[in-house]
Amino acid sequence: MRPDYYKHDVTADGAELKLQGHWTNSFAQDLIAVTEELDQVHVDTTITVRCGGLQSMDLTGAWLLHKLTRGWQEKGIQVDLTGFKQEHAKFIHRIAVIGDENAKKSTYKRPFRFSLLRRFRDLVVAIQVHLFFFRDIVWHLASNIRHPKQFRLASITKQIEETTIAAFPIIVVMAALIAIVLAYQGSLQLEKFGAKIYTVELVGISILREMGVLLTAIMVAGRSGSAFAAELGVMRLNEETDALLTMGRDPIEILVLPRIIALLIALPVLTLVANLAGLIFGALLAPIILGIEIQQFAVRVSEEVPIIHFWVGMIKAPVFALLIAVTSCMRGLQVRNSAEQVGQMTTRAVVESIFLVLIADAAFSVLFGEIGWV
C-alpha cells in the first residue's frame, strides 16, 4: 500500500478510494505501481473515487487514473468519480475525449467497396511500377549489347557463382526428394489399376515438364531473390546508390543488370541439374519401388517420354528467372529509411516473385496446350 497517493476504505455500498498527493509525470514510476496495486482490489459492486484531496495532477496522472477506472469497468464494477478540483477536471475530460476518439477509430471499418477499390488501385500501381522498371532494364541491356565493353563481367561472374554453383546442393536434394515422392506415391496409385510400370512416365514427364523448373524457380526466389532484395536494400540505406548517382553512374547498370544476367544464366542451368538429379534418383529407386533395373528405367524414359517435355521446361526457365530478378531488384531499390523496411521489401520480393512465377506457369500451360505441346 502507498498512503502517499491514496487511502482505501471498504463501505457497506462497496469501496471508497480517496486520492491524495501528486499525480504527475514526476512521480510516474510510483503511480504505475499504485495503479497496479489498486487494480487488484476485489470489489463486487461500486468503487467511489474521491479526488478532492489531490494536490496536483497532469495528463500522466489523468491517463493512469483513466486506465485504472476503465479496467474496473471492464470487470463489471461501477466507478463513480467525484470531488475533482476545476484545474484537475480538465485533464480527466481531455483524456476521456482522446479515449473516445481512439475507440471510434478502432471500431470504424471502411465499406467493402472502398477497400476493393483501394486494392484494385494498388494492383494497377504495382503493375505500372513493374513495367517502368522493366523498361529501364531493357534499355540498359540494349545499350550494353550495342557496346559490349559496358558489360561488367567481374560482377556477372561473381553473381553466377553465388546464384548457380552455391545452389547446386540444395537443388539436387530438392529434386531427389521430389523424385522419391513422385515415384512412391505414383506407384501406389497406379498399382491399383495394374499400371505400376507407368510410374516411369509419370516421374519423367512431371520432372522435365513441371516440377523441375517450377520448384527450382521457387527455391531460387527464396534464396537468390531474397538476397538481391536485401543487398540492394542495405545499399539504399547506406546511400551507396546515391553515391553512384553522384559519380554519374546508373545503379541499374552497376547493380541490377549483372544480377539479372546472372540469374538468366543460373536458372536454366539449375533446372537442367534438377532434371538430371530427379531422373537419376528416380532410376535408383526403380529396382526398389518398381522392380525394374536402372537400365530398363533409362530405356523406357528415352522411348516413352518425348523430348518436347524437356524443352517445355527449359523454355520456362529464363522467363521465370527474369520475373524473379526484376521483382527482387525493384523491391530492394524501393527501400527508403529503415532496417525494418529492408525486411518488409525482402519478404514482399519473395512473395511477389513466387506469385508471378505461378501465374506465368499457368499461362504457359494454357499456351502449350493450345499449340499442342502436350
Residue-wise pLDDT for 24-40, tens only, equals 777 767 667 767 777 66
Length of the chain: 374
Question: What confidence score (pLDDT) does residue 40 get?
Answer: 67
Phi, psi of 303 (to 5 degrees): -90, -35
Residue 149 or residue 11, greater confidence: 149
Residue 106 has pLDDT above 70, yes or no: no
The predicted model gives 202-220 an average pLDDT of 95
CA angle 111, 115, 116 (to 5 degrees): 115
Question: What confidence score (pLDDT) does residue 1 get?
Answer: 41
Question: What confidence score (pLDDT) does residue 14 get?
Answer: 65
Question: What confidence score (pLDDT) does residue 5 get?
Answer: 63
Tell me the pLDDT tens digit for each residue of 254-299: 999 999 999 999 999 999 999 999 999 999 989 988 888 999 999 9
Kindly indicate the confidence band of residue 42, based on its pLDDT and cuts at 50, 70 and 90. low
CA distances from 154 to 32, 151, 254, 336 (A): 61, 9, 11, 28
349 CB neighbour count, 10 Å cutoff: 27
Model pTM score? 0.69
Q: Is-contact 55 23, C-beta < 8 A?
A: no
Residue 28 or residue 224, greater confidence: 224
Question: What confidence score (pLDDT) does residue 12 get?
Answer: 53
Residue 137 has pLDDT above 80, yes or no: yes
Residues paired with 49 in a beta bridge: 17, 81
